[in-house]
């Protein structure tokens, strides 16, 4: 007699939860959008959105807050993937915010546009009247993100209060907001970095090439390998050298470090991640090292 296997895998459970969250948002809110940077977490969110609403199209636009200092490989992937899906892509530009005098560009060797994204994001949310914004943050990334609820309330200034969050019982989410307020929604909250890579392998999802090992000119700063680029200021005491590296996370080049790695396939990356003892952001994000509470301070101001 044929024996059927009804076992539900960890990935099945996480996927089902994320699909439920996306459908809940589509039902409860009038103007949601999905933050899509071309990074692996937002790519996984996009696949889940496809499954949640298939065979219909994804019922909300995509949005990227572009610092103008992102990796070319990732921007090319972002544009191509959005076009393949026929999705509406909104690009909120930090450069435009600078040109309009909304923010002031930092100067000096450690200058970065990463923090400037907050103003651009909040302006775009207000301009397009979004009331729910999907983000790919996971609780295992950083301690401030571990505090976030799945439905994370933001007041009419876009600010987050970690001491006054709404309770979430089981899969019951509070979607009530007043005009001007919005909710950040994190469908991947309960995923780990390893879950994301396992899902990418299982689904056969394409990702930007910089996630795989390649030779790149880099220099070392505070134990982190930053890329050779005209937008990254390098001191005379920071010599360039070639290294075989890959990126665990992608973002603004001025604060995103590479890791030395020879992992050239998804399977090899999964082996590497399973053995590492350093978190994704701890290994690759210079802006999180500026203070013990750097991420929480940025999130209070409206950072995603």
Return the structure tokens found at 299. Answer: 């999130």
- Binning pLDDT at 50, 70 and 90, where does residue 1 land? low
Give dist(CA 6, CA 159) in Å, integer. 44
pLDDT of residue 171: 86
**Whether this model's pTM surpasses 0.85:** yes
Closest by CA position to 92, among listed 58, 54, 130: 130
Q: What number of helices (H) and strands (E) belong to the chain?
A: 10, 10
Residue 250 dihedral angles phi and psi, to the nearest 5°: -125, 150
Give dist(CA 39, CA 78) in Å, integer. 8
Give dist(CA 236, CA 189) in Å, integer. 41
Instruction: Find the length of the chain.
Output: 304
- Binning pLDDT at 50, 70 and 90, where does residue 278 land? confident
Q: Specify whether the CB–CB gap between 300 and 162 falls below 8 A.
A: yes
Burial of 213 (0-12, 13-18, 19+ CB in 10 A): buried
Helix (H, G, I), strand (E, B) or coil at 128: helix
Which tens digit of pLDDT belongs to each residue from 4-32?
Answer: 777 889 999 999 999 999 999 999 999 99
Closest by CA position to 178, among listed 133, 134, 135, 131: 131
pLDDT of residue 2: 62
Give dist(CA 122, CA 249) in Å, integer. 23
Give dist(CA 24, CA 288) in Å, integer. 32
pLDDT of residue 7: 80
Closest by CA position to 96, among listed 126, 65, 129, 74: 65
pLDDT of residue 46: 97
Closest by CA position to 56, among listed 92, 26, 21: 26
Return the structure tokens found at 35. Answer: 């933050």
Does 159 score more than 90 pLDDT? yes
Give dist(CA 173, CA 150) in Å, integer. 8
* Torsion of Cα atoms, 188 then 193 then 194 then 197, to 10°: 80
Does 292 score more than 70 pLDDT? no
* Average pLDDT of the segment spanning 273-301: 74
Residue 226 dihedral angles phi and psi, to the nearest 5°: -100, 150
List of E strands, the chain: 32-35, 62-66, 89-93, 132-134, 151-154, 182-185, 214-221, 224-227, 241-246, 259-260
- Binning pLDDT at 50, 70 and 90, where does residue 168 land? very high
pLDDT of residue 210: 96
Does 3 score more than 90 pLDDT? no
Which tens digit of pLDDT belongs to each residue from 37-48?
Answer: 999 999 999 999
Which tens digit of pLDDT belongs to each residue from 137-149?
Answer: 999 888 888 889 9
User: Given the DSSP bridges, would you call strands 241-246 and 214-221 parallel, antiparallel or unpaired?
Assistant: antiparallel
Strand order in the sheet with 241-246: 224-227, 214-221, 241-246, 259-260
Closest by CA position to 304, among listed 170, 205, 197, 183: 183
Which tens digit of pLDDT belongs to each residue from 210-230?
Answer: 999 999 999 999 889 999 999
């Amino acid at each position: 007699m044929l024996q059927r296997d009804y076992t539900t895998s960890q990935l099945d459970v996480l996927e089902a939860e994320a699909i439920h969250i996306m459908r809940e948002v589509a039902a409860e809110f009038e103007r949601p959008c999905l933050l899509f940077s071309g990074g692996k977490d937002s790519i996984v969110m996009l696949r889940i959105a496809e499954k949640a609403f298939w065979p219909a199209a994804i019922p909300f636009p995509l949005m990227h807050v572009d610092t103008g200092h992102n990796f070319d490989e990732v921007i090319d992937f972002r544009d191509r993937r959005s076009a393949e899906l026929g999705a509406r892509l909104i690009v909120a530009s930090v450069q435009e915010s600078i040109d309009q005098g909304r923010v002031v560009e930092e100067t000096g060797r450690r200058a970065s546009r990463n923090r400037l994204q907050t103003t651009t994001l909040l302006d775009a949310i207000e301009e397009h009247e979004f009331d729910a914004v999907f983000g790919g943050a996971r609780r295992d990334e950083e301690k401030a993100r571990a505090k976030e609820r799945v439905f994370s309330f933001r007041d009419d200034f876009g600010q987050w209060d970690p001491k006054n969050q709404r309770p979430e019982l089981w899969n019951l989410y509070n979607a009530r907001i007043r005009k001007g307020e919005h909710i950040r929604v994190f469908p991947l909250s309960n995923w780990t970095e390893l879950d994301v890579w396992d899902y990418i392998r299982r689904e056969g999802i394409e990702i930007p090439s910089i996630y795989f090992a390649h030779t790149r000119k880099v220099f070392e700063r505070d134990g982190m390998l930053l890329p050779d680029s005209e937008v990254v200021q390098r001191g005379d005491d920071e010599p360039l050298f070639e290294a075989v590296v890959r990126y665990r996370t992608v973002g603004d080049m001025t604060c995103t470090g590479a890791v030395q790695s020879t992992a050239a396939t998804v399977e090899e990356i999964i082996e590497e991640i399973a053995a590492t003892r350093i978190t994704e952001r701890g290994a690759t994000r210079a802006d999180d090292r500026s203070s013990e509470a750097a991420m929480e301070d940025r999130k209070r101001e409206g950072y995603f």
